[in-house]
Every structure is written in C-alpha cells, then in structure tokens.
A = this chain, B = another copy of it.
Amino acid sequence: MAEAYVQVTTTTDSRKEAAELARAAVTGRLAACAQLVGPIASTYWWEGEIESAEEWMVLFKTTTDCFADLAAQITEQHSYDTPEIIATPVVAGSAEYLSWVREQTTG
C-alpha cells in the first residue's frame, strides 16, 4: 500500500448493523467518515447454491495507517464470519479534504 489514503468497503445484511459499523469506526477515529449505500442486491455462492441477498454497503475514508486497526474492529464487530473488507487506493484528491481525513483519524 504505497498510497497514504484508502477507501475501505464492507457489506452487511441489516441497515442497523451497517450504521453501527459506520458509527463505531468514526467514534474510534479509525475513519474520518463512513457512508452507507443501499439497499444493494448481492449475488454469491453459498453451500453449493447461488444466493441473492439484500445488503447495505459501508464506505470508510481513512488513512493507510489506520487500515489494520479498522479491519480488526470491523472483523470483531461484524455479524458475519467472513465479512467483505477491502481497501482501494486514493491516488489523488483535494489537499484540504485529505488533510481533514488525517486530522480526524489522529484527533
């Protein structure tokens, strides 16, 4: 992870849990902000069948330095055994916005 900032994604099957994951990350200064998107419709294999489920996506804006702690907190708090937790790099951005992300996560 050469980039200094990342967007982290997780999904879960209740809006309430998605909101709790968002709030816990921001409260713990592990992300500067968290955005709930949904409902979304997810399709995947489960025990030999293709399933579809309604889910909510949470997008966290944070520093690369915070990623490991944020992923650990999501893993512990999440109701799934193997939740989606992925990070995509931020290769450019508004300097003021990125400074704000850093301040919020080190505050």
> A-side interface residues toward B, CB under 8 Å?
1, 3, 5-7, 9, 11, 19, 22-23, 26-27, 32-38, 40-45, 50, 52, 55, 57, 61, 64, 67, 71, 75, 82-94, 96-98, 100, 104, 107
The dominant DSSP class at the A interface is: strand
Complex interface: chain B residues within 8 A of A64 (CB): 92
30 contacts between A and B (CB under 8 A): A1-B91, A1-B92, A3-B91, A5-B86, A6-B91, A11-B35, A19-B43, A19-B52, A23-B43, A23-B50, A26-B44, A26-B45, A27-B50, A32-B45, A33-B42, A33-B43, A35-B55, A35-B57, A37-B37, A37-B57, A61-B84, A82-B96, A82-B100, A83-B97, A85-B93, A85-B97, A86-B92, A86-B93, A86-B98, A87-B90
